[in-house]
């Protein structure tokens, strides 16, 4: 019997409203309430004095690029980056090559997960065939193949009739539909937020109205069909307000915010650095503050990274030509601690809930809990440790991080997946 | 005053004193251009590469002419003939040019920010000859040079920039230059092409042509760049002309001594009445001529220290 004993930690389990000094006992990959004296002698012990022990973090929005773009990331390297960031459960977007719009591709992804992943990885499938927004993908087969949601992430479904039928159909399988809210006609060739900064820099603007229009559309379709629509990476203040009012009426809408939208604004684009180019784009200080308030009052349900790896030679280009996206798994916790804990005065349990039980519940994932009997996924972190982040030396295959070279506060020390240490604070343990 | 800037990327970052210095230097070069022998040895032995990755006639010719007047060797390079069409990145193209021991690069590029990017990759001067809708610094320097020749100090002078402001790098560079020179700038055009955000740059925005042109001393027209615009920005060229085109009636609203400017290429009958373009109020061709002296000044100043004084005594 494999036994792991994490002692003297500040144990925070928001799902059980637990926050206090204590121990975690893990036997054969699952939490148990206590060890017998004999087990205590036998167990491998981690002294977690000064550390927080919480459920392994959950990220419902990552791009692991497999199949087809494995020069950027693989399911294996992506899972390493997750483990190093304290994440034990991640949900992969289907915009791979080919896109994950068939059960066969999902099976391929499952095989890759089986072969290489050190954390729990769940696939999503496409809403439409080829992410073209024209014809529904075989949602039932995708569900049977094991997807936890459907989404055309990155290629928002533009046709309202297709979207209406997609959510109505997915509801039959209790499958959430995740939407990247972007009106394409309003954002042709857009590279950054539309406003004073884009005016100064002469870059094409991506107006927040293009997000708000689709958020409204989704609120309307969710109301009309009763289907659950999850709104990905919300970036606009106006959208936060739309979601707040919809939730007030009981509409089945959920939403996420990314660490980069919580921490940064379009002011950082003055030097045309593509490390800050993402979709949706960084917006204004007013928007950023609205996202934080949205997380505070529950309008936004969780934090998700939108971890989007690109190689240096793809990203190191003229701003207009560089692809959208930044990696985020290895920096999410310190950034969120900085914005929400140290600046935003959220409590640690509130923050951990946004990164564990809340996203897990949203997609019905078996994660985000320290309850006896559950899979023993744990993140141990030091909320006060200062460290220099070097993306090149990180575990993701790519290094396109806006926080490259910066000193961050809060560091993951150990990550445990199903009772096994997969990250020891320095390296992935395979 | 020493010139400390290796690159000329944007007017936004220039000081008032630097703008004045370019103008003073350009005035000296302009005198040379009026001689029978129009050449000085200032950049003899230097090679300037004109890297024009977006079509250009006037600017490229003016830069070539300026470089030749300074006795530099010039290589011009456009996207149709360069390896960028074969998929080479700007980084690689630039590094190759540096490896060929060029001394300076003049870059025209459709992507905003690319001269800044290039300047970070190279240790030779980079001159921005227009980057997307961002800036076109030598154009604004020659425009303000031309205005100063006609009006003297620009302080408090009413300047109207009329046309497609949103997609215009010329407008942006002129906004920075004119506000630094303390002119009173009003941008005019359809609301879709003159968004209110421009007021943040210290200029006025108006959609009423009559009040904006009233007593203006300079009107700078910008070309309607229909090739850049989605069809949604205004209904038609005809409607644009009927609402915002400069014709004789509208020109009569200007200050009687007002000058009419245009960075070119002009669309006769669209943003400007053909007769007006050729009238004595038009300084459009003076702008072109001044473009050579101003670009000589920009190349000369950015090329840095010189072994011997090359400017003629005043």
List of domains in chain B: 11-134+290-303 (3.40.50.1370), 137-288 (3.40.50.1370)
pLDDT at position B80 over 80:
no
| B228 touches A: beta carbon within 8 Å | no
| Residues contacting A222, CB < 8 A, separation 6+ | A167, A228, A229, A246, A251, A252, A253
Residues of chain A with pLDDT under 70: none
Report chain B residues whose CB lies below 8 A from the CB of A321. 111
Task: Give me the total of CB pairs closer than 8 Å, taking one residue from chain A and one from chain B.
Answer: 60
Question: Which of 71-110 (B) contact A at CB < 8 A?
Answer: 89-91, 109-110
**The domain containing residue A243 runs over which residues?**
55-363
pLDDT at position B304 over 70:
yes
In a domain, A387, yes or no: no
By the 8 A CB rule, do A236 and A287 touch?
yes
The whole-number pLDDT of residue B1 equals 73
Question: Which of 363-402 (A) contact B at CB < 8 A?
Answer: none
Q: Identify which of A383, A326, A336 has the alpha carbon closest to the alpha carbon of residue A356.
A: A336
Question: Which of 198-217 (B) contact A at CB < 8 A?
Answer: 198, 200-201
DSSP string, chain B: -----S-B--GGG--HHHHHHHHHHHHHHHHHHTSSS----TTTT-EEEEEE-S--SHHHHHHHHHHHHTT-EEEEEETTTSGGGGT--HHHHHHHHHHTT-SEEEEEESSTTHHHHHHHH-SS-EEEEEETTTB-HHHHHHHHHHHHHHHS--TT-EEEEES--TT-HHHHHHHHHHHHTT-EEEEES-TTTS-GGGGGGT-EEES-HHHHHTT-SEEEE----TTTS-TTSSS-HHHHHHHH-B-HHHHTTS-TT-EEE--S---BTTTB-HHHHTSTTB-HHHHHHHHHHHHHHHHHHHH---SS--SPP-
Question: In chain A, whose CA is at the least distance from the CA of B176?
Answer: A200
Per the structure block, which two tokens stand in for A178? 């995740």
The whole-number pLDDT of residue A95 equals 97
By the 8 A CB rule, do A180 and A296 touch?
no
The whole-number pLDDT of residue B306 equals 44
Q: Identify which of B145, B139, B200, B149 has the alpha carbon closest to the alpha carbon of residue B173.
A: B139
Per the structure block, which two tokens stand in for B222? 């910008």
In a domain, A287, yes or no: yes
In a domain, A78, yes or no: yes
Query: Measured between alpha carbons, how far is A418 from A43 in angstroms, rounded to an integer?
Result: 15
Report chain B residues whose CB lies below 8 A from the CB of A319. 111-114, 117
The whole-number pLDDT of residue B81 equals 59
From B91, B113, B200, residue closest to A272, measured CB to CB: B113
In a domain, A35, yes or no: no
Supply the CATH number for residue A268's domain: 3.20.20.140
By the 8 A CB rule, do A26 and A3 touch?
yes
**Interchain CB distance below 8 Å, A319 and B112:** yes
pLDDT at position B230 over 80:
no
**Interchain CB distance below 8 Å, B197 and A196:** yes
pLDDT at position B314 over 60:
no
In a domain, A42, yes or no: no
Query: Measured between alpha carbons, how far is B111 from A203 in angstroms, rounded to an integer?
Result: 8
B299-to-A124, B127, B279 alpha-carbon distances in Å: 56, 8, 32
Q: Identify which of B62, B134, B10 has the alpha carbon closest to the alpha carbon of residue B297.
A: B62
**Interchain CB distance below 8 Å, B117 and A272:** yes
Query: Measured between alpha carbons, how far is A156 from A178 in angstroms, rounded to an integer?
Result: 10
Tell which of B12, B53, B111, B168 to mutate to test the A interface (max A CBs under 10 Å).
Answer: B111
The whole-number pLDDT of residue A32 equals 98
ipTM value for the complex: 0.93
Note the pLDDT tens digit of each residue in A183-207. 999 999 999 999 999 999 999 999 9
**Interchain CB distance below 8 Å, B112 and A313:** no
The whole-number pLDDT of residue A116 equals 96
pLDDT at position B305 over 50:
no
Tell which of B53, B94, B120, B132 to mutate to test the A interface (max A CBs under 10 Å).
Answer: B132
Contacts of B202-209 with CB under 8 Å at 24 or more apart are B202/B175, B203/B175, B203/B178, B203/B179, B209/B162, B209/B243, B209/B244, B209/B250
The whole-number pLDDT of residue A257 equals 98
| A271 touches B: beta carbon within 8 Å | yes
The whole-number pLDDT of residue B83 equals 59
The CA radius of gyration of chain A, in Å to the nearest whole number, is 21
Per the structure block, which two tokens stand in for B8? 């000329």
Query: Measured between alpha carbons, how far is A415 from B278 in angstroms, rounded to an integer?
Result: 75
| A272 touches B: beta carbon within 8 Å | yes
By the 8 A CB rule, do B48 and B104 touch?
yes
The whole-number pLDDT of residue B94 equals 83
From A196, A202, A313, residue closest to B200, measured CB to CB: A196
**Interchain CB distance below 8 Å, B112 and A272:** yes
In a domain, A379, yes or no: no
Tell which of A199, A204, A274, A317 to mutate to test the B interface (max B CBs under 10 Å).
Answer: A199
In a domain, A19, yes or no: no
Share of chain B above pLDDT 90, in %: 80
In a domain, A13, yes or no: no
Total domain count, chain A: 1
The whole-number pLDDT of residue B307 equals 39
Task: Tell me the catalytic residues of A.
Answer: 306
The whole-number pLDDT of residue B229 equals 60
């Amino acid at each position: 019997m494999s036994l792991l004993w994490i002692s003297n930690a500040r144990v925070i389990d928001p799902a059980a409203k637990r926050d206090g000094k204590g121990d975690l006992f893990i036997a054969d990959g699952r939490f148990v309430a206590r060890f017998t004296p004999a087990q205590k002698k036998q167990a491998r012990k981690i002294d977690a004095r000064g550390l927080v022990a919480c459920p392994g973090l959950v990220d419902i929005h990552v791009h692991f690029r497999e199949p087809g773009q494995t020069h950027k990331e693989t399911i294996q390297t992506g899972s390493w980056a997750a483990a190093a960031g304290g994440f034990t459960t991640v949900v992969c977007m289907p915009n791979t090559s080919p896109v994950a719009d068939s059960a066969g591709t999902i099976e391929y992804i499952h095989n890759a997960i089986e072969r290489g992943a050190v954390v729990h990885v769940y696939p999503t499938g496409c809403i439409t065939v080829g992410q073209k927004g024209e014809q529904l993908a075989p949602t039932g087969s995708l569900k049977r193949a094991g997807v936890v949601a459907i989404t055309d992430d990155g290629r928002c479904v533009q046709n309202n009739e297709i979207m209406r039928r997609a959510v109505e159909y997915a509801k039959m399988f209790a499958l959430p539909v995740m939407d990247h809210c972007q009106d394409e006609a309003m954002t042709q060739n857009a590279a950054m937020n539309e406003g004073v900064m884009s005016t100064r820099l002469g870059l094409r603007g991506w107006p927040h109205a293009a997000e708000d229009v689709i958020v409204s559309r989704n609120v309307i379709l969710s109301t009309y069909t009763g289907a659950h629509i999850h709104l990905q990476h919300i970036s606009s203040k106006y959208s936060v307000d739309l979601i707040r009012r919809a939730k007030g009426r009981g509409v089945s809408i959920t939403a996420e915010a990314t660490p980069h939208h919580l921490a940064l604004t379009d002011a950082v684009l003055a030097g045309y650095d593509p490390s800050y180019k993402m979709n949706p784009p960084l917006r204004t200080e007013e928007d950023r503050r609205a996202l934080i308030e949205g997380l505070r009052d529950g309008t936004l349900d969780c934090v998700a990274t939108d971890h989007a790896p690109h190689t240096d030679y793809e990203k190191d280009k003229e701003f207009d030509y560089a692809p959208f996206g930044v990696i985020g798994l290895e920096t999410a916790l310190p950034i969120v601690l900085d914005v929400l804990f140290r600046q935003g005065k959220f409590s640690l349990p509130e923050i951990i809930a946004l990164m564990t039980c809340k996203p897990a519940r949203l997609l019905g994932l078996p994660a985000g809990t320290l309850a006896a009997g559950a899979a023993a996924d744990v993140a141990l972190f030091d909320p006060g440790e200062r460290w220099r982040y070097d993306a090149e030396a990180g575990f993701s295959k790519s290094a396109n991080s806006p926080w490259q070279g910066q000193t961050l506060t809060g560091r993951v020390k150990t990550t445990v997946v199903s009772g096994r240490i997969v990250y020891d604070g320095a390296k992935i343990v395979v | 005053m020493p010139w400390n800037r290796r690159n000329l990327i944007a007017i936004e970052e220039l000081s008032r004193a630097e703008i004045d210095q370019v103008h003073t230097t350009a005035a000296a070069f302009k005198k040379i251009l009026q001689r029978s022998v129009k050449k000085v040895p200032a950049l003899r032995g230097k090679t300037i590469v004109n890297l024009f990755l977006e079509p250009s006639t006037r600017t490229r010719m003016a830069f070539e002419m300026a470089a030749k007047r300074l006795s530099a060797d010039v290589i011009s390079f456009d996207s149709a003939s360069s390896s960028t069409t074969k998929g080479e990145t700007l980084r690689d193209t630039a590094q190759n040019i540096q490896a060929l021991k060029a001394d300076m690069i003049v870059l025209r590029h459709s992507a905003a920010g690319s001269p800044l990017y290039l300047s970070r990759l190279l240790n030779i001067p980079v001159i921005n000859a227009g980057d997307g809708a961002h800036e076109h610094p030598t154009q604004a320097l020659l425009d303000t040079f031309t205005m100063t020749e006609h009006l003297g100090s620009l302080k408090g002078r009413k300047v109207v920039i009329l046309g497609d402001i949103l997609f215009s790098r010329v407008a942006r560079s002129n906004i920075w230059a004119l506000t630094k020179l303390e002119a009173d700038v009003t941008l005019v055009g359809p609301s879709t092409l003159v968004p209110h955000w421009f007021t943040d740059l210290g200029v006025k925005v108006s959609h009423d042509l009559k009040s904006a042109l009233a007593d203006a001393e300079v009107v700078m027209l910008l070309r309607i760049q229909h090739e850049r615009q989605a069809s949604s920005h205004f209904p038609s060229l005809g409607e644009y002309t009927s609402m915002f085109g400069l014709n004789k009636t509208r020109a009569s609203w200007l200050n009687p001594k007002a000058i009419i400017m245009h960075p070119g290429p002009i669309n006769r009958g669209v943003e400007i009445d053909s007769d007006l373009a050729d009238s004595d109020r038009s300084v459009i061709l003076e702008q072109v001529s001044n473009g050579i002296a101003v670009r000589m000044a920009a190349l000369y100043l950015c090329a840095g220290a010189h072994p011997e004084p090359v400017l003629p005594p005043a």
